[in-house]
Amino acid sequence: MVAVLHTGRMQTSFATTPPTAASSTRWLTDTDRVRLLPQFTVLRRDEHEIQLGFDSAEAAVLVDPEGSLSALLAVMDGRYRRADLASLAPQLGIAVAEFESLLAALTAAGLMELPDLPDQSECTVRLIGLGPVGTRLGEHLLRAGLGRLLLVDPDRELRWARWPGDRDRVQRTEHWSEPRIDEADLSVIVASSLEIDRAISSTLTRTDHPHLVVRPRARGAVVGPLVIPGRTSCLHCGDLARTRTDPAWPRMLAQLCRIGGAWDPLAADWAAALAATQVLGHLAGHQVASAAATLELGPVDWQWHRRVWPADPACGCCWSAG
């Protein structure tokens, strides 16, 4: 059996290529139960093709020339452990090596349920700054089951008191470095100015602490970058790139950090919802769109685009990754 897996724009051939230890993808162990994600309905396109999912943008198509995959996919429903399916595969006409390659391809494509994903109820997020976006973002995260939210905000109106869920999950701190930076899995900086204070982002980068930036712009919003020290570029990388293009950028940046930015209500809703998806995706171990990039909502046409910020060799924030 040789099958070809198409997922959106991706096409992967697999026959006898098992996962490697160097891969960053989580792999199922022999004792893990094997289950396709429930949203990927198994559909038969014809006698030689099986489709997983019905959305053409996300669907995966398996080329099944021998017609042996249907029976195997039918038992990938959580009833069996990986080792059990490896023993069962030959009875279904599929060699063990082919089964392992299929499982690796499905896992790499994000089609398998991975039981070892972090539990959001055990995660902590530090939210620096509330306002309309921070308040909505906090609500989204608590409703999604986040374990603990550390709040840093000078506003004494206590907007967070109306948030859903157990109040024990919300803890207020007086400074963004308290109680300790490493007590949170991720920090989100929601700016009330047009740019964030680089003292915060540089400290978080130096202490290897992941952080996401959210800030307003004229009738729009910017979500990102998500900085994962040692793996992605940081804000200083972006500043170096801007300075090469415009030598006046450092002087303007100092001013922008002090200029308040008004949140457009629609842009605030967009930023809060999008930031929540980036936070939850990162906590679940996924590569998210805002990593080393900004997701920018335009002020005129209400279209958004993604701008990538490569690591700058002069910065050194990713030296450890090399």
Q: What is the pLDDT of residue 24?
A: 38
Residue 315: count of CB within 10 angstroms of its CB: 18
Report mean pLDDT in 10-residue bins for the chain, 322 residues.
54 44 55 83 86 77 82 87 91 90 84 70 91 92 90 67 67 79 90 93 94 93 96 95 96 95 93 97 91 90 91 80 46
Instruction: Quote the pLDDT of residue 165.
Output: 58
Task: Lay out the sheet containing 148-152: strands in order across.
Answer: 170-173, 148-152, 124-128, 186-190, 211-217, 220-227, 293-297, 304-308
Domains in the chain: ranges and CATH: 3-108 (3.90.930), 120-321 (3.40.50.720)
Is the pTM higher than 0.75? The answer reads: no
pLDDT on residue 130: 86
Q: What was the pLDDT predicted at 137?
A: 95
Q: Is 144 exposed, middle or buried (0-12, 13-18, 19+ CB in 10 A)?
A: middle
**pLDDT reported for residue 156:** 57
User: What's the confidence (pLDDT) of residue 21?
Assistant: 35
CB 29 within 8 A of CB 119: no
DSSP string, 103-141: HHHHHHTT-B--TTSPPGGG-EEEEE--HHHHHHHHHHH
* pLDDT value at residue 157: 58
Q: Rounded to an integer, what distance in angstroms lies between the CA atom of residue 263 and that of residue 104?
A: 45
* Per-residue confidence (pLDDT) for residue 272, from 0 to 100: 97
pLDDT of residue 175: 83
Q: Determine how many CB atoms are found less than 10 A away from the CB of residue 85.
A: 23
Burial of 5 (0-12, 13-18, 19+ CB in 10 A): buried
What is the reported pLDDT for 188?
98
What local confidence, expressed as pLDDT, does residue 25 receive? 44
